[in-house]
Structure 1
């Protein structure tokens, strides 16, 4: 078989009946059958091999057709899949690009919004500061007559003592003791007038808010002294029930004074038609963490229908031209800024009481130290 496969031409020797096959060189055939036989008669001694060849295309054609169909079928499946994958990838890339653009737009919008909020916050804080300042100036306007009277007293005393001193000098009496007494009294009255003016200037000025440890009782007394002439002119008595432990809070002195001046002014106005005119001021440690302050009057009280609105800006029960409606709303804002609370109890029979809770300046462990500090301060001032 191997010999036959290698033969490119079949030769039958040079004998009768010779048949020469055409050249098979260059042709690709597939051997599908083979038979071996011997020669007979004239061809005795020869061995014949019969090869049956079939065209390769005839044998492999069906396989090629099937392979081609499979390839076409695979291509028909793969090509749409690749097209879909390409289209999906392109669509996802576009969506991703849109998402990035949207994210960038949102980031810019958020940045702009934060900037606007910050600007708006600064603007609102500035307006609130202006309202607080306007309310302070309005309070000073209401207290102007009382302040003028407070200044008039030391000025009259200064004039009296100065006249006495002049009389001692012109009379020729050389005794220095009375003259020295007059000069000392003049200095005291000058200091008193200067203290009143400085208090007014400090209360009215716009200054950075500095929080410090303060004796709340001292702030209450100074607030009353600021209103004392106004209260006297309205025949109002002030009764103190202050905690002897001298509770200490951390806050801004001017703002706390503004709170108490506002509440005292409201109490003054509420008692104009009352026969009994008393303001009661109470302070005590509520739980060694907060200080409770009560400012009560014997006025006509607040109607229950308007009680929930008294801290609203520009709300007032006073006649037109007699109030801005800012006092209690600013008081509420300042109390919140000091991390405190304020509430009101009112009865048309017994009057109105404002209750404030302010955190102490130190924790429980440091309360004793804070109390001693406040006691030393008041002892030194006395």
Structure 2
């Protein structure tokens, strides 16, 4: 496999908040990946530079051995920075292998179990008028499911007025669309344990598709109290980075849907393992993806081969994507077209999308310095974003 020897690694930091990796092999086959932590793009880029000596000169075909070396070879393991760097590299290596063998990645993972994947996208959750307007726009684009923030900044124990306000937006959507629209609610880790049950009480009449991150992942031990309290499916996992992070919640049976991110949780290789672990516990997977086209394509490759994959997030039109959106960097945007709520099985080899490198170089000249906002409550105390 000398022709697949890795010769060059390039990084592209592009708007709105993404980092892409390009791996070039001796024979000229190129693989693309998306290694980024939102708000820490430069840190992940530095990590990739440190990992580069383990890649240059290796055959891109040895995906599993490279993954093991990158993960285990540095002695200290895991965490968002290292795992996001590994994720993008892993995506690019699968892209190369698929292109070399002229098959989509899902064929290399055992073959597809479905011919299309159900999709959802994000709408705002702060203003009732915006919620209805954006939901109608997404339905017109072909979506049958959406997700919105359940709440803004929350005190550790909030007022009854704030609690009542939370349910209003999903109430409006239910009144407007009935049950023709699936609605996920993202608590975004903004809610602390004392408030979760009270919020669930307000939300249950409107039957959300799931509640996402009801508490921060570092407080996953409290999920046992929440899980037994409601019949609404509990989803979490976007801030968990390996199969070892997921092992606890799977063993304890305190989650219904796991949401590893293909750009944070070790790439296609590791999320494939996580999905299989979840299947053994009869738990669904719905990969997290508020990022760019390569991350989305990687997630879909995983979805296509995972029988327990139930729905896939897309960042198309998300509020972060100002000036550039996921299709702007793609030469075959039709591959990511949502039709009647689904994206069809990819046909092209590798990850299934072609990157517009000219557009990428144009975006690189602009770059970005995206950082998540710092929120404070009325008394000045830090509030989770």
Same fold by TM (over 0.5)?
no
Instruction: Pick the structure with more helix per residue.
Output: 1
Q: Under a length normalisation based on structure 2, what TM-score does the superposition of the two structures give?
A: 0.20
Greater RCO, 1 or 2 (C-alpha within 8 Å, sep 6+): 2
Higher-Rg structure is: 1
Q: Under a length normalisation based on structure 1, what TM-score does the superposition of the two structures give?
A: 0.20
